[in-house]
Amino acid sequence: CIDQRPIVVKGQRVEKGTVLADSSSTQYGELALGQDVLVAFLSWEGGNFEDAILVSERLVRNDLFTSVHIEKHEIEARDTKLGPEEITYDIPNVSEDALKDLDERGIIRIGADVKENDILVGKITPKGEKELSPEEKLLRAIFGDKAREVKDSSLRLPHGARGKVVDVQVFDRQHDRDLPAGVETMVRVSVAQRRKLSEGDKMAGRHGNKGVISKVVPIEDMPHLADGTPIDIILSPLGVPGRMNIGQVLETHLGWAARRLGFRAVTPVFDGASEREIQSELGRAWLVDRAWDVATAWAWDWLNEIDYDVELLKDDREARLLFITSWLGDLGYDASRLDVDVDYARQSVAREWVRSRGWDPHGIFIEPEAWPETTKGQWEPLNDLAIEACV
């Protein structure tokens, strides 16, 4: 399905370089392919043998890789030796229920949900005389000459297909001179089908790494990180040296650092981040994670010191929030202001830990003034990120 849509409105003033439209592979004029997921390179119970891929059920539930496919079905009404074929609603030996979504011309309506063997376009074809079978004699006695003269040659949805009708086009000889010889009318019906990720589908990365999904694994059966975050996709580690595409490993490391630090990495082709820059970002990410782990330990120690009933807490996040609110005092703020204060407090905790280790916190962490944008989902490049190695 190729989706091209305008991103400007009528009356908007544009100038040179303004992005006018987006497609299924771009967003605001920038390349946007695939999804950002958590990937692990490891062997997992033989499920990713050779190039096989294991995916988490979460990807299927959340429609992260769900795609829309549009199939076009055509039918032609020709002028035969026995007479012209006719596209019509009046089809012999067909129940009213099978005709409920056809219009007066015998063509399926846009928006109709169809499944296999449903009629898309009704068509009858003249047939010659022959010796009648008992069934045909019965039909002639019931329906008269109509059942004798024509047969049902309607366009039906193929076996195994289903979807929604999104477009109908009708071409006739009077208005379309490019029709093939002998064709009086042609009808083209477009049916869109929404397909979820399933076994047998093929997936590919940006570095020549590709494979076929061998199994959709339940979330609880997937391996997880130390904090309990389940993996989304498991790839075979043998696929890296086998194709010598080390770029996917470097991209994975840079993506991990960007996720932990909350910035967006833009790396042009053949002019991307160097290994030293990636190492620097990984070092910064490690410092942030380490500082946050220490802050979590401080939070639990503080709760024990004040004799707080820790059994009421569900996880580390609630403990950290209680610890931070003790710094903020009265929480008489609106929701957006509280988000900013919580992020500021998080940075303060991390800075204290870094300063106690003799490092300069301002050269390592994002300034608090930049965090409100990231907390609101505006993941734009933050120019104040240092590139130098910090370890």
Give the bridge partners for 204, in sequence order: 210
Phi/psi for 51 (5° steps) reads -100, 15
Nearest 10 degrees: Cα torsion 4, 7, 10, 16: -100
pLDDT band at 243 (very low <50, low <70, confident <90, very high): confident
Among candidate residues 385, 339, 389, 388, the one with its CA nearest the CA of residue 366 = 385
Label residue 153 exposed, middle or buried (CB < 10 Å: 0-12, 13-18, 19+). middle
Would you say residue 217 has pLDDT above 90? yes
Q: Which residues pair with 119 in a beta bridge?
A: 156
Q: How far is CA 222 from CA 56, 170, 230, in A?
A: 7, 50, 6
9: helix, coil or strand? coil
129 against 242, higher pLDDT: 242
Mean per-residue pLDDT for 211-231? 91
CA distances from 333 to 63, 338, 339, 370, 382 (A): 36, 6, 10, 20, 27
pLDDT at residue 352 in the model: 58
Give the Cα separation of 210 and 197 in Å (integer). 15
CA distances to 4, 62, 146, 312, 345 from 26, rounded to whole Å, are 9, 21, 55, 46, 37
pLDDT band at 387 (very low <50, low <70, confident <90, very high): very low
Tell me the average pLDDT of the chain.
79
Average pLDDT (212-227) is 92
d(Cα 78, Cα 75) in Å, to the nearest integer?
10
pLDDT of residue 388: 30
Per-residue pLDDT tens over the stretch 48-93: 888 899 999 999 999 999 888 899 999 998 888 777 888 988 888 8
Mean pLDDT over 255-283 rounds to 86
Domain ranges of the chain: 1-33, 34-66+198-245, 67-195, 275-375
Q: Determine which of 138-142, 144-148, 155-159, 364-368 has the lowest per-residue pLDDT on average.
A: 364-368
pLDDT at 195 over 50: yes
Pick the CATH number of 67-195 from 2.60.40.10, 3.30.200.100, 2.40.50.150, 3.30.460.10: 2.40.50.150
- Above 60 in pLDDT, residue 354? no
Residue 321 has a pLDDT of 80
Give CA–CA dist 179/197, Å, rounded: 39
Q: How far from 242 is each of 38, 208, 246, CA to CA, in Å?
A: 22, 11, 10
pLDDT for the residue numbered 330: 45
Summarize pLDDT for 272-292 with one digit per residue, the tens.
888 899 999 999 999 888 888
- Cβ pair 222, 53 in contact under 8 A: no
What b/e readout covers 268-282, taking b as 16+ CB neighbours within 10 angstroms? eeeeebeeebbebbb
- Inform me whether the pLDDT recorded for 334 exceeds 60: no
Q: Lowest-confidence range among 55-59, 83-87, 327-331, 370-374?
A: 370-374
User: What pLDDT was estimated at residue 326?
Assistant: 64
**pLDDT value of residue 148:** 52
Of 2-11, 189-198, 272-281, 359-368, give the lowest mean pLDDT range: 359-368
Least confident among 4-8, 175-179, 301-305, 329-333 = 329-333
pLDDT over 90 at 140, yes or no: no
pLDDT at 21: 93
Q: CA quadruple 167, 173, 179, 183: dihedral positive or negative?
A: positive
Distance CA(2)–CA(67), nearest Å, equals 11
- Residue pair 115/158 in contact by the 8 Å Cβ criterion: no
The angle at the Cα of 68, spanning 65 to 69, to the nearest 5 degrees, equals 125
- C-alpha 272, offset from chain centre: 26
Tokens of 333: 């703020």
pLDDT for the residue numbered 74: 93
The percentage of residues in the chain with a pLDDT greater than 90, rounded to a whole number, is 29
Same fold: 34-66+198-245 with 67-195:
no
How many CA atoms lie less than 13 Å away from 162 in the CB half-sphere? 5
The predicted model scores a pTM of 0.64
Residue 122's Cβ-side half-sphere holds a number of Cα atoms within 13 Å equal to 22
pLDDT over threshold 70, residue 335: no
Q: Where would I find the H helices in 41-119? A: 57-61
What's the pLDDT score for residue 372? 41
Give mean pLDDT, residues 166-177. Answer: 85
Select from 1.10.357.10, 3.40.50.150, 1.10.287.980, 2.40.270.10 the CATH code of 34-66+198-245. 2.40.270.10
Say which range, 177-186, 193-202, 372-381, has the weakest mean pLDDT: 372-381
